[in-house]
Structure 1
Amino acid sequence: MKLIHLPKEISIRHYVNEEPKTKASGESFSAEMEVIEKNRCEVLTAAIMMEDRMIEASSYILFGVDNENVDQRQFFVDEVMATSNFSYAFKRRVFTRMLEKFNILGQAEIKKLRAGLNKIMEWRNAFAHGHVIHEKDGGFLLHYYSGGEKEIILDDEYFGMVELTIRECLYACNSVIQHPHPKPNK
């Protein structure tokens, strides 16, 4: 399969009377940009996967896992939740409300999951709409808007936290899917 290489824009920030916010890692510029681009793709792909996991878990909560409700569950997934009319934020809210309403996870678990899903949504938007800045004599930042201008320092600590958060949210969603709960009372 053909690997495409498209032009990319990167801003370089020079400081006159202050130090960069970031630290250079010692790797080459090209090597660091390659890692950032791969991690950007990972975050975007993971956000899409999380959305799919929330939809699937919601369908199992509402319709159960038995074969008698397969058509209803599939209709709900295809025609209601998976439509572009519902945002990631809406799906997250519906999913976490179901977890609360039907006592599927404890309050502390739901709070942690909701916070993680919020972070994933912000990171997805930041990587999809923001732009990378290289600081002269420093490292890299991601500049984006979310209720105002924001910047994230792109380093090992940040990407480690992103990976951990995504894994924890994925495991929580998978546990709801893999451990069926009784359907809500009609």
Structure 2
Amino acid sequence: MGLDSKYFDRIRTRRRRPVEEPPSAPTCQWDGCDKPGVHRAPVGRNAEGQFFLFCFEHVKDYNKGYNYFSGLSDSEIARYQKEAITGHRPTWTVGVNGSAKSSPIQADIRSGAYNRVRDPFGFVQGNKSRGPRFPEQRKLKTLEAKAFDTMGLGANATSSEIKSKYKELVKKHHPDANGGDRGSEERFRAVVQAYQLLKQNGFC
């Protein structure tokens, strides 16, 4: 393509920008050092977010002797470590925070404003009875229900009722007392098995 071509006039070229020199690093703050200080080191306690600038050699020397707790007693250090667990925020023991006791929610609970809430286990108002919070009667498994039926008892029978019923049925259906009745022997085995199952599962 010649210099007099019509395409030559349409070529655009970038203007060369002057090369910017990178900003010079600050000088090391160690006494008598003229090297660039590119490494940060913390100033100390009560000056968080402030840093010294050292060269690599001097920042190593500074870090070896750095102690955040210098000037504090052992009790002050222990207190700081304990407060660090909660991020240095105040905490209260359960039941000690007086402002919580006087809160509107607690006042509503004491005045009975939450009586409309269905609370079968007493979580909102507190269960003042010393008995268990949950229903005592558990859901029977299939074999357990069958064992109660075999013995002719209800699911809410007590331990003494189960034992007395067992003695009664054993005397009635024992091979020595049934006069050789095969049906009575089968009933005897079923009663013994039912009683053992209930005993293993903690009903008697």
Higher relative contact order (CA 8 A, sep 6+): 1
Q: Which has the larger radius of gyration?
A: 2
TM-score (ref. length: structure 2): 0.18
TM-score (ref. length: structure 1): 0.19
